[in-house]
Amino acid sequence: MAAYDRESELKAFDDTKAGVKGLVDAGVSKIPRFFHHPPDPDSINPHLAVPQAIPVIDLRSAHGEAAEREAVVELVRRAAETFGFFQVVNHGVPQILLDELLEAVRRFNEEDDEVKRRYYTRDQRRKKVLFNTNFDLYNSPAANWRDTLFCVMAPEPAAQPDDLPAACRDAILEYTKRVQELGNVLLEILSEALGLRRQHLVEIGCGEGLCLAIHYYPPCPEPDLTLGTSKHTDPGFLTVLLRNDAGGQLQILFENQWLDVPPVAGSLLINIADLLQLISNDKFKSVEHRVRASRAGPRISVAGFFSTDFQPSAKIYGPIEELLASENALPKYRNVTVQEYSAHFSIKGLDGKSALDLFRL
């Protein structure tokens, strides 16, 4: 049997600039070897879903009487300290916009390859809008079965309207405005859940930057051999996720078991990201999660990452002093800039290990 030249196979795939969708369109029945994932050693049973419900929180009550808001803050606090995930309804983003964005993303990914090739690049630092398969294609242990349109939307300088693909331009721009508003609402609630002033997390810049990672997961002919997204935690402070209910299942790792997180109609999924775990001194949890591949689909998701990792900044983040003082606690992490953390995350790739480990004291 001829020796397997993984690097050459990766490059040949990458050079097509057609992504995973290109493989599906070509009618592959066997997925390339570099998509093969080994079994997950960190879970007791990587295919067992625990019957445990991720909280669904009605944000309408957050704008009501003081007692109603306090109840929402308490629900968010519990979720952030345990699962690291919760779903929100009555979040202020119109359903018609959610539906249109998902359809617009499908239109873009199902356009002719020549249209998508205009955006295909691995220059993640100079491009505000880029399309590719796996940002870490060449340094991850195994590739994920998905294509991604990545857009830096805030703060300035960020993607301009003409930078965005025509098929999804209007929907992305409108969704960005709505998610920025929602992000501020969530950060205020999370501030209160930490026992801080309502504006604390907003004032220190946790909501300044917003990047959209728009994933398209085509049907996979051999879903048991690969993953849509491998086990990881998210960069940044907070993630807002929109997804359809087709194709692969999102799962979180909870008590060494994989827990399914099926979508709730009209909801958005919220999760704590690494830098919020860092500044909360481990009070809030950035939890490992993954997406399983499927013969069904396409699965479509839009992950809004609140972070400033693509914007130059000397701002330093560490465990919040007021929080340490109120709990008489020692810091568990050293101070770090967002760029230092993000550079480590990008180089490390989705290797199944937490990027926070490097910064832990």
CATH number at residue 244: 2.60.120.330
CA-nearest of 287, 288, 145, 289 to 227 is 145
Q: Is residue 5 part of a domain?
A: no
CB distance 82 to 289 below 8 Å: no
Beta partners for residue 215, in sequence order? 148, 301
Residue 174: inside a domain = yes
DSSP-assigned letter for residue 33: G
Is residue 45 included in any domain, yes or no? Answer: no
Range(s) of the domain holding residue 329: 51-359
pLDDT of residue 231: 93
Spatial contact of 233 and 316, defined as CB atoms under 8 Å apart: no
Is the Cβ–Cβ distance between 124 and 135 less than 8 Å?
Answer: yes
Q: What tens digit of pLDDT does each residue of 116-166 get? A: 999 999 987 789 999 999 999 998 899 999 999 999 999 988 999 999 999
Q: Is residue 101 part of a domain?
A: yes
Contacts of 126 (CB under 8 A, 6+ apart): none
Residue 28 falls inside a structural domain: no
Structural domain total, the chain: 1
The CA distance from 169 to 180, in Å, is 17
State residue 241 phi and psi, 5-degree precision.
-120, 125
In a domain, 137, yes or no: yes
Which residues of the chain have a pLDDT value below 70?
A: 1-3, 41-52, 310, 312, 352
- Tens-place pLDDT, residues 157-203: 899 999 999 999 999 999 999 999 999 999 999 999 999 999 999 99
> pTM, whole model, 2 decimals?
0.94
Q: Say what the alpha-carbon torsion angle 170, 176, 178, 179 is, to the nearest 10 degrees.
A: 150
CA-CA distance, 249 to 244, in Å (whole number)?
10
Dihedral in degrees, nearest 10, Cα atoms 128, 134, 139, 142: 170
